[in-house]
Amino acid sequence: MFEELKNGWQWALSRFWNLFSVVGVIATFYFGLFYIPDYAKENLYSKSALAQDEILEEVGERLFAGGEMSIGEIESSIEQKEVFYKIDFPFSTKQTLLLIRNDFAKNAYIPLEKRNEINLKVQSLIEGIKDDPEKSEEWTELNYSKWISVFLAIASGLLGFLSIIQKNKKDAELEIELDEENISFEEGTVSRRGYDYSQMVSEVLKELNLTITKELKATPQQPVYGPEFEVTSSKGALLVETKAYRQKVGVNTMRGFLYMLRQAGKPGVLVSNSTLTIRAKQLLQQHNESNFDAKAHFVSGITKSDVKSGLQAIVGA
C-alpha cells in the first residue's frame, strides 16, 4: 500500500506541469464560456433597469396624455434603448405593455376612471400584437463582443489541449530514447525473451523457403548483437536482425542497425515485437533516400503470422 502511494506521488510530481496545463485549459474554457464577473453582471443589470424605467416612463406618459400609440412605436422605443445602452432588452413588446399596465394599476394617485381608460388602451395594443416572440434570453445574453471572446477562449483552449497532447507524445518518445541506453544491459540480463523471438523469426524464414546462408547461433546465456541471419531470396541477399523490446525501438537501435547495413553494403530488415519511435522512423527514411544498395526495412510483429506477412511483402516469397 505504501509503495503504491509512493509510486502515485512520484508519478504526479513527474507530470506536475502537464497536470497544471490541463487545469489551465479547463479554466480557460470555463472563464471563456460560462463565467461572467460580478462587476459585469451588476453593470448589465443596472443598464437593463435604466432602460426599463425609461421605456415605461416614455410609453406611459404618452398613454396617460391620451395620445395614440402603435406597436411599432413601442418596439422602436425598445430598440433605441438597446442601441444606446448596448444591451438586449429582457422583455418582449407584450411583456413591456403588461409592465406598463401594472404600473398604472398600482398608482392610486391616478383616478380610477383614468386607470381603466389606460388599461383598455394597453389591452387593445396587446391584442394587436401578432406572434410576438417572447424573449427567452436573460440579461446576461452574449453580445457580439462576447461571442468573439468566447471564440478566442475556445480556440486558445483547443490549442492548449493539443499542445499538451503533443508535449506528452514528445515526452514519451524522449523517455524511450533515454531508456534505450539501458537496452544493451537488458539484452544481456533478460535474454530469454530475445532468444525466443529470434527462434520464431528463424522458423518464419524457413517457412518462406529462404536460403539461410549465415546464422549466428544465439543462446539464452549468450545473446547476439547485430544481424542474426543472412538470407538469399529472389531479390538477392538480405540481412535480418531481431529485437524484442518492452518499449518502442528508438534511435540508438536504429542507428546501429543502419550502420551495420552500410558497412556490409547490403539491404536488411529489422524485425521487432514493438514499433518505431517517430525519430527512428525519420532516421530510417533518411537512410533509404541515400543508400539504395543498403536499403533498410522494418517489420513489426508479435505473432508468427504477423512476422511472416511482413517479411513476405519484402522478399516477395
Q: How far apart are CA 218 and CA 100, in angstroms?
A: 97
Cell numbers representing residue 151 in the block: 471564440
- pLDDT over 80 (residue 191): no
Residue 148's pLDDT is what? 63
String of b and e for 139-165 (b: at least 16 CB within 10 Å)?
Answer: eeeeeeeeeeeeeebeeebeebbeebe
Q: How far apart are CA 164 and CA 279, in angstroms?
A: 19
- pLDDT over 80 (residue 198): yes
Using pLDDT thresholds of 50, 70 and 90, give the confidence band for residue 56. confident
Residue 187's pLDDT is what? 47
Cell numbers representing residue 68 in the block: 395614440
Residue 300's pLDDT is what? 95
Pairing of strands 268-272, 236-243: parallel
pLDDT in tens, 113-151: 888 888 888 888 888 887 655 554 444 444 555 566 666
Which alpha helices (DSSP H) does 108-248 contain, by range?
112-127, 144-179, 183-189, 192-207
Kindly indicate whether the domain formed by 190-315 is annotated with CATH number 3.40.1350.10: yes
Residue 91's pLDDT is what? 85
pLDDT in tens, 228-272: 899 998 888 999 999 988 888 888 889 999 999 999 999 999 999
- pLDDT over 70 (residue 51): yes
Q: How far apart are CA 120 and CA 177, in angstroms?
A: 85
Q: What is the mean pLDDT of residues 166-177?
A: 58
Tell me which residue has cell 536488411.
268
Q: Which amino acid, one-letter code, is at 150? A: V
Domain borders along the chain are: 2-34+148-179, 38-139, 190-315
> What whole-number percentage of the chain has pLDDT above 70?
65
String of b and e for 48-86 (b: at least 16 CB within 10 Å)?
Answer: beebbeebbebbbebbbeeeebebeebeebbeebbeebe
pLDDT, greater one: 71 or 262:
262
- pLDDT over 60 (residue 194): yes
Residue 139's pLDDT is what? 43
- pLDDT over 60 (residue 184): no
Dihedrals φ, ψ of 260, to 5°? -60, -40
- pLDDT over 90 (residue 168): no
Q: How far apart are CA 182 and CA 175, in angstroms?
A: 12
Average pLDDT, the chain: 77
Q: What is the mean pLDDT of residues 178-202?
A: 65
The predicted model scores a pTM of 0.46
